[in-house]
Structure 1
């Protein structure tokens, strides 16, 4: 990894072998992302520029879409992502959350009954669907904050605000709902505000793994995946290593050191890069899909499609299910997580979640696997950048 490649072809062959660790390895790789060519009829759209063929292929595989449907969904999600901050400001105190509806291709904005007619018209004129609900986002967030102060038993998987349900949703592991500790927790949670209880298949676990040869990076006997390049290093999951721990690459050579790490409470970290390694704004497809350039970190709304890259299971796609969820791992609760329907397996921890060409977060944990399915949580990347004063490396 210390040599400078002389041509792009051998670089890409090496990158596909080492997987996501190659976000850090070779000069000139920023040009390696494969993007669709402009249509013959004119200038390419933003979606055509941001969606690699590999990303579209992954969406076709995981969502059962045609290429045209995948392109249309990405375009609709791009519009919804851009519209969400404006919709929140327009709704003001009446804002009760928002989410992307894949069937209509629109951002749905929930507002309380005291929203003025002018506000509702402004939201609809902007292109959103509007739903009237009972509880404001402020009230739901306050209720969740009160639940966050409770000690959760192992039978409680986590909890989050669900804007579509207009409630704080508490997830209980199947078979544990009758447990006395779980019942006491649910009773206390309901005292905090509007709460709905749902059942999930299993408790969440982190996705670190023991050392296996040929994978992206190691700290001690733990293997994890690189998330996104930042100027000076990369971001990843906090449970993969403590501050001060050294990091080795797929080939055993020294990469750098964990400069900051937080787990539990949070699950994020950043690693400095040196010793002949450097950063590039690319999420790689491991030869399964084409490489994807990273152009920013605009946050995708609930309901939007999202894809994950990791050293064990490579590329998989799903949807954003919830934001600001508290996940109750056996090591302790982790806050402000985003839940997705994307699968993951041990070794994928720290890897990239991306929507179009926008970085979303780093893989934390989940339940299930990529054979039978499951759910996975990520720590939002913007929170990591703000916490450590980092700048995302973008194309």
Structure 2
């Protein structure tokens, strides 16, 4: 009798233990499930090609005022939208990027995304005339301008960055274009490879000095100052005095471009002969004269 009772009581104990073990296992499985789900939705599930496809979709949505980049580590395409982008624009982007789920991340940035213009960048004037920014400058009130060649700004009108504010040509060869949007004016000049060279002061160059220049057509090149106070007769009464002569090459479209050495602004491209395939000689308007004439400084 007692043995039968023992057997009867031992069976539920074993079952209870079995049930307890099963419950524990089930609880462990349930507690592990969220981690597994997190792993499944993590960056490993989003491939580089999927991120590229998402970026292409944002490009096709064509919403001005946006920028985007792939964050491969997090498996996200991060889209930054400026203040001009409305809710409807964001909805258009979200509609364009449908897969994979959760890949899109929207961020806001203050202000407005605009192109930056520095020394060495091309600007376009009335009639499609193309010249190059020499140096960005500002006056005592904080108004910002681009210094360029005077023969570029000789005809009044509005350029791609704003209206002509001053011009001196012939005799000298410098002009001033005011920025319609001052926030687009970037300090410095474009150097080799598009790097930004900081310019913080201006001075007169010296003969034999190693100098560099940047043109909207030729890009960045370096050479030597070969003479000062040169005079050039361009014809039709257009004579310019007091120019810096160099062995740098320039081409049409480079007019107004910067001449610099280290952090110093030196001159603005006026004209030249030859080309960058065979070499050439170029002349630059001393920038100190232009800065003094307009009461502005480089930044």
TM over 0.5: yes
CA shift at 1:219, angstroms?
3.1
Conserved 8 A contact 1:21-1:225:
no
**TM-score, L = length of structure 2:** 0.57
Q: Look up the SS of the partner of 1:294 in the other structure.
A: coil
Within the candidate set 200, 211, 216, 1:295 is matched to: 200
Report deviation, 1:243.
Answer: 5.9
Aligned partners of 1:233 and 1:278 also within 8 Å: no
For residue 300 of structure 1, report the CA deviation from its aligned partner: 2.5
Give 1:242 deviation, angstroms: 2.6
Alignment match, 2:118:
23
Partner SS state of residue 118, structure 2: helix
User: 1:341 corresponds to which residue?
Assistant: 247
SS at match of 1:387: helix
Distance 1:21 1:351 in 2: 16
Work out the CA distance in 1 between the residues paired with 2:188 and 2:268.
14
Report the TM-score, using the length of structure 1 for normalisation.
0.43
Map 1:56-205 to 2 at 5 A.
none
1:390 to partner: Cα distance: 1.3
SS of 2:225's equivalent in the other structure is strand
Match of 2:256 in 1: 350
Counterpart position of 2:215: 310
Contact 1:243–1:259 (8 Å) recurs in 2: no
Q: Distance in 2 between matches of 1:4 and 1:354?
A: 34
Runs of 5+ consecutive residues of structure 2 not aligned to the other structure: 1-63, 70-78, 80-114, 139-143
Residue from 258, 283, 286 that aligns with 2:189? 283
- Aligned pair 1:242/2:146, yes or no? no
Cα distance in 2 for residues equivalent to 1:276 and 1:362: 21
User: Is contact 2:190–2:197 with CA below 8 Å preserved after alignment?
Assistant: yes
Do the aligned residues in 1 keep the contact of 2:137 with 2:147 (CA within 8 Å)?
yes
Question: In 2, Cα distance between the equivalents of 1:21 and 1:341?
Answer: 30
Tell me if structure 2 keeps the 8 A contact 1:363–1:376.
Answer: yes
Please state whether the residue corresponding to 2:177 is helix, strand or coil: strand
Call closer, same or farther: CA 1:257–1:372 in 2, change over 3 Å: same
Cα distance per residue 1:29-74 (max 9 Å; x no partner): xxxxxxxxxxxxxxxxxxxxxxxxxxxxxxxxxxxxxxxxxxxxxx
User: Which structure is richer in relative contact order (CA contacts within 8 A, separation 6 or more)?
Assistant: 1
Q: Deviations over 1:299-348 (max 9, x none)?
A: 23110011110110001111011111111111321011111010000100
Q: Tell whether the 8 Å contact from 2:232 to 2:241 is kept in structure 1 after alignment.
A: yes
Map of 2:227 onto structure 1 = 322
RMSD: 2.7
Alpha-carbon distance, 1:217 to partner: 2.7
Structure 1 residues 237, 23: closer, same or farther in 2, change over 3 A? same
User: Contact 1:299–1:358 (CA<8 Å) still a contact in 2?
Assistant: no
Change in Cα spacing, 1:383 to 1:281, as seen in structure 2 (3 Å) is same
